[in-house]
Structure 1
Amino acid sequence: MTVIQHVLSRLRELGIKDVFGVAGDYAFPIEDAVCGHNEMRWIGNCNELNAAYAADGYARIHGMAALSTTYGVGELSAINGIAGAYAEYLPVFHLVGMPASGVQAARRLVHHTLGNGEFDIFYNMAEPMVCARAIITPENCVAETERLIAAALHSRRPVYMGFPSDFAIMPVVGAVQPVAAPTADPVVLDAAVTAIVDTLSGCKTACIVPGILVSRCGLADEAQAIVDASNLPFTTMFMDKCVLDETHPNYIGMYDGKLMNEQVRAFVEGCDCVFGIGAMLTDFNSGSFTAQVDRSKSINVMHDMVRVGSAFYNNIGMKDVLTELVKRIPRKEVQAPRVEGLGAPQGDPDGKITVDYLYPRWQQMLKPGDMLIAETGTSSMGLGFAHMPKGSTFQNQTLWGSIGWATPAAFGAAMAAPHRRTILVTGEGSHQLTAQEVSQFHRFGLKPIIFVLNNDGYLIERLLCNDPEIYYNDLAKWHYARLPEALGCDGWFTTRVTTCFELDEAINKAELCGTGAYIEVVTDRYAASPLSQKLHETRDSLYSA
């Protein structure tokens, strides 16, 4: 077995069937091996950044993903997407095709280099964006592959695998067993669980805040078992939406500091203990840092450590903690708020599309099992407070926040679960960065429902900057509803809507058309969702130290 064949066989054993990327000559050995594999597919994207975003979306649904790029020009185009996967805990195996080893040793001046004979520049640039990296050779292939797999699965973050083109097609040398997953020290594990139990036992009121790491580590069932065993109410923050089932009777809604849902804020911050499971107080999660959770009265179980008040218990995995805790956690009766969604659509059917109509109407169309991918900006901030049906997921790049992410990420998510309905909601400013990836949905027989919110510019930027009408917030005016036809999406339902009645009619047609659907939704320039308006009002705390 050759070096690249060995690596692909291990990725396939992990469950990865698709490799996203763009063709490039130094990566031909990788691409040839993918296309020659009878259980893997090459998923060609429009550019490497889109490919990285698509791998991000795939990993959110499937648990991990693979991306292939060529040396230099390709990997640098993808590095923003890799950084986003790192920030948001997504294991992506980045396979980089490199010039042959002899070319590198001779410091030849070849294309896709800086012309200085240095070949480790881009490898070193990738270091901060991955949890592990290696240049793969026939001699180290087996051992390094296992090391990188173990790192990616433990840290839930990307890894970099460089393949000199001659090494990629050489036979592997040697053998090694897979790296065993870390095991928790039973003494430390017992101490951490005992501390959690003692803290919760001494509380009259407490709530659970499950975070994004629950989803990234594949531990939703274990976290849900903690909720069921303890009977504690649970809330989620923005980045963590839908990590647990929002139809569960113990769900009380979204917690976003002082910005939204005052009843939820008062309850959470008034609890004797706030029990986090993989939650992080980022700027958007904390409502522009307005969340006031007393650290001394809080617990957080992260993927490899536990904090109880000011005490830390290191090198113990979240799964081990939750598995042991569910046997011992005390059961409580706590009065908590009831979840509120967005209500019914409100507006004049023949009038302009307003915020009070748009977001509740989107909530109304959601069905069990849907995958909702919402772009960074006002659209995701409105949909973040929708009450999601059972089995549905809400995906948003909350922490990294790279505009343009959602369109290719939705494609990646749809590739990971083509049997589920994919709904993409993106702003037109973000869409202009990566719109060409719409063509890939049709190419692979996928049938998403895509909404492009056209409010004549970068609305979230207008709300956050000093002069909302400044020129840099304006956009070229595209005919969005015509894009799918130009991109080869033959037979799709496409339309442009400007009134509430037209929106309602378009949604009904999209749900029945049996093809992909693409709906341009036109609103007033400052038709902003409530949370985005609140961010405008709290700019000082959002950008404070």
Structure 2
Amino acid sequence: MKNAPLYTRKAPISSSAAVTSIPLQFGRKSRLPNGENASRTLPEHFPHMAIRSELGGIRTELMSLDFRRSVCTGIRSEFRGIRSELKSLAVVNNLEDAHEQIDTAISTALKESKPVYISISCNLPAIPHPTFSREPVPFSLNPKVSNQRGLEAAVEATLTILSKAVKPVMVGGPKIRVAKAKSAFVELAGTSGYPVAVMPSAKGLVPENLPHFIGTYWGAVSTAFCAEIVESADAYIFAGPIFNDYSSAGYSLLLKKEKAIIVEPDRVIVANGPAFGCVYMKDFLQALAKRIKKNTTAYENYRRIFVPHGQPLESAPKEPLRVNILFKHIQNLLSGNTAVIAETGDSWFNCQKLKLPEGCGYEFQMQYGSIGWSVGATLGYAQAATDKRVIACIGDGSFQVTAQDVSTMIRCGQNTIIFLINNGGYTIEVEIHDGPYNVIKNWNYTGLVDAIHNNEGNCWTAKVTCEEELKDAIETATGPKHDCLCFIEVIVHKDDTSKELLEWGSRVSAANSRLPNPQ
């Protein structure tokens, strides 16, 4: 074919990149499919391509007409509004440079691990053009290479600190993923002998069967005995951390910067002093692993104070279901063939306490505290990871924001298990700032999903109020309904929350209530 239309262009998109098609309406703020502002929910460090599709891009000839000036001004303002959040913005309103603009945006997303936005005028995609008839050039990324002298200096400075430390520790953060440094982090953990913890949003990135794994470090709501070991250490390596109000439990972490080695994806900061740029995390961790001296003192201290976790109290026959009983049964569902999606809210804390078998996936988002994100995330994860059965733990308030994504789950034939935890309100918000706005209209959730199902596709629903009903529902979901989307509504008391949420909510509430600094 001499000429090919734009929509036939085959972009060399990496499996690690996400693509969102956004048919936006003219003059509205950019919103992702889950209803959130694009500038709020695009991940900070992830190659994400938001593509404004045929329905959304304004026609080329209308861009300059006076009678649509207000619309066009709104569109341009919209681009300006999200520009600061993006690494590249491509507005395709002619075919002459469309090829170059699209390839540049995609390349930028993959190279920088940052979001880009491509808007294509709605009257262009089906028009043939010679540039889109060529075979695509194979895409390759040059590997990022650390500055060798900077790398050596960073390792030397780090070893100087660690050689003086008696009980150092390691903590993994969420940026390990974008730095592609998971294996390097595990290698260093093995050679150092240090206790290994993860920040809450890094759960699932580090194997929990590592010999010296001690759990989640989250300040006052950490895994038992984890915070005591981390905060009493005389040196700590933080690989890819994000310290914000949520991950620091209201900025209440008892850490000292002069004891910390902060390893970012592209730089290393040693003891709140020298910063070594152009040093990539993977290279640094591998180089440090070759020279570090083994020190198991902190882990031996952990072993001395550790007391195994208890079990929740047994339920009486037909006793109203408790959340800790629910998660006891969810724990038994986990294997290397499953993945857990933890919604914003009390599921943050309950899912953190799950012990992940080797190979079990886990996704947890707390950078923005965006409620409802997990419904769309469950849809996307299940569609991509066809070798795993997704188990999603979602609160009723969050589900009301993005419930419509269940329709696509059914249409795509997914076999996810969704536990809809119905406690009648925004429980996490109650603990941060209570008020009548945290009480929501109750829905017939199973009835809603049945209506969406409409006898088309495979979907099964159940409503449970006690442990006996929960056991039956799980047995059905893992047995005769294994190939169905299984939606299990779990009725629990409105005040049935984890102790971690109570503690965390109090600290975040206190941080939010601080008086402003004098200007």
In structure 1, the partner of 2:388 is: 420
In structure 2, the partner of 1:313 is: 276
Residues of 2 paired with 1:344 and 1:362: CA distance? Answer: 14
CA spacing shift, 1:140–1:193, aligned 2, 3 Å: farther
Residues of 2 paired with 1:397 and 1:378: CA distance? Answer: 13
The correspondence for 1:502, drawn from 461, 465, 469, is 469
Q: CA deviation at 1:525?
A: 1.0
Q: Please give the secondary structure, in 2, of the residue aligned with 1:76.
A: coil
Q: Please give the secondary structure, in 2, of the residue aligned with 1:533.
A: helix
The answer (yes or no) to whether the contact 2:373–2:402 under 8 Å persists in 1 is yes
User: 1:316-348 CA distances to partner (integer Å, 9 max, x unpaired)?
Assistant: 322232333332233222342368886534231
In structure 1, the partner of 2:121 is: 164
1:82 maps to amino acid: A
The correspondence for 1:525, drawn from 479, 488, 494, is 494
Q: Please give the secondary structure, in 1, of the residue aligned with 2:150.
A: helix
CA spacing shift, 1:149–1:303, aligned 2, 3 Å: farther
Residues of 2 paired with 1:358 and 1:10: CA distance? Answer: 43
The answer (yes or no) to whether the contact 1:461–1:473 under 8 Å persists in 2 is yes
Q: CA deviation at 1:158?
A: 1.0
2:62 matches 1:103: yes
Q: CA deviation at 1:403?
A: 1.0
Residues of 1 paired with 2:392 and 2:208: CA distance? Answer: 20
The farther-off stretch of 198-207 and 67-76 is 67-76
CA spacing shift, 1:117–1:151, aligned 2, 3 Å: closer
Q: CA deviation at 1:315?
A: 2.5
In structure 2, the partner of 1:152 is: 109
Q: CA deviation at 1:457?
A: 1.4
2:305 matches 1:346: no
2:439 matches 1:480: no
The answer (yes or no) to whether the contact 1:373–1:425 under 8 Å persists in 2 is yes
Alignment of 1:19-418 (within 5 A): 63-73=16-26, 76-78=30-32, 80=36, 82-97=38-53, 98-107=57-66, 109=68, 114-115=70-71, 119-136=75-92, 138-166=95-123, 168=125, 169=127, 170-172=129-131, 180=142, 182-261=144-223, 263-309=225-271, 310-336=273-299, 337=302, 343-350=310-317, 351-418=319-386
In structure 2, the partner of 1:463 is: 431
In structure 1, the partner of 2:421 is: 453
CA spacing shift, 1:446–1:402, aligned 2, 3 Å: same
The answer (yes or no) to whether the contact 1:455–1:522 under 8 Å persists in 2 is yes
Q: Please give the secondary structure, in 2, of the residue aligned with 1:126.
A: helix
User: 1:369-403 CA distances to partner (integer Å, 9 max, x unpaired)?
Assistant: 42101110012222112221111122122111111
In structure 2, the partner of 1:28 is: none
Residues of 2 paired with 1:438 and 1:190: CA distance? Answer: 51
Residues of 2 paired with 1:416 and 1:75: CA distance? Answer: 28
User: 1:452-478 CA distances to partner (integer Å, 9 max, x unpaired)?
Assistant: 0000111112222244xx2x1222221
Q: Please give the secondary structure, in 2, of the residue aligned with 1:134.
A: strand
Q: Please give the secondary structure, in 1, of the residue aligned with 2:365.
A: coil
Q: Please give the secondary structure, in 2, of the residue aligned with 1:486.
A: helix
Q: Give the number of aligned pairs.
A: 490
The answer (yes or no) to whether the contact 1:342–1:360 under 8 Å persists in 2 is no
The answer (yes or no) to whether the contact 2:208–2:357 under 8 Å persists in 1 is yes
The answer (yes or no) to whether the contact 1:342–1:386 under 8 Å persists in 2 is no
Q: Please give the secondary structure, in 1, of the residue aligned with 2:218.
A: coil
The answer (yes or no) to whether the contact 2:246–2:508 under 8 Å persists in 1 is no
1:159 maps to amino acid: V
TM-score w.r.t. the length of structure 1 is 0.83
Q: CA deviation at 1:164?
A: 2.7
CA spacing shift, 1:476–1:312, aligned 2, 3 Å: same
Residues of 1 paired with 2:327 and 2:39: CA distance? Answer: 30
1:289 maps to amino acid: Y
Q: Please give the secondary structure, in 1, of the residue aligned with 2:315.
A: coil
Residues of 2 paired with 1:463 and 1:415: CA distance? Answer: 34
Q: CA deviation at 1:498?
A: 0.8
User: 1:514-533 CA distances to partner (integer Å, 9 max, x unpaired)?
Assistant: 22211100011110112111
Q: Please give the secondary structure, in 2, of the residue aligned with 1:120.
A: helix
1:124 maps to amino acid: R
User: 1:477-535 CA distances to partner (integer Å, 9 max, x unpaired)?
Assistant: 21112233211265433111111222222222211122221110001111011211112
Residues of 1 paired with 2:452 and 2:332: CA distance? Answer: 30
Unaligned runs of 5+ in 1: 16-62
The answer (yes or no) to whether the contact 1:404–1:431 under 8 Å persists in 2 is yes
What is the root-mean-square deviation in Å for CA atoms of aligned residues?
A: 2.7
CA spacing shift, 1:3–1:301, aligned 2, 3 Å: farther
1:127 maps to amino acid: R
The answer (yes or no) to whether the contact 2:90–2:101 under 8 Å persists in 1 is yes
The answer (yes or no) to whether the contact 1:375–1:404 under 8 Å persists in 2 is yes
Q: CA deviation at 1:244?
A: 0.4
The answer (yes or no) to whether the contact 2:24–2:31 under 8 Å persists in 1 is no
Residues of 1 paired with 2:307 and 2:99: CA distance? Answer: 52
Q: Please give the secondary structure, in 2, of the residue aligned with 1:229.
A: helix
Q: CA deviation at 1:262?
A: 5.1
The farther-off stretch of 498-507 and 410-419 is 498-507
Q: Please give the secondary structure, in 1, of the residue aligned with 2:117.
A: strand
TM-score w.r.t. the length of structure 2 is 0.86
Residues of 2 paired with 1:330 and 1:148: CA distance? Answer: 44
In structure 2, the partner of 1:10 is: 12
The answer (yes or no) to whether the contact 2:22–2:52 under 8 Å persists in 1 is yes
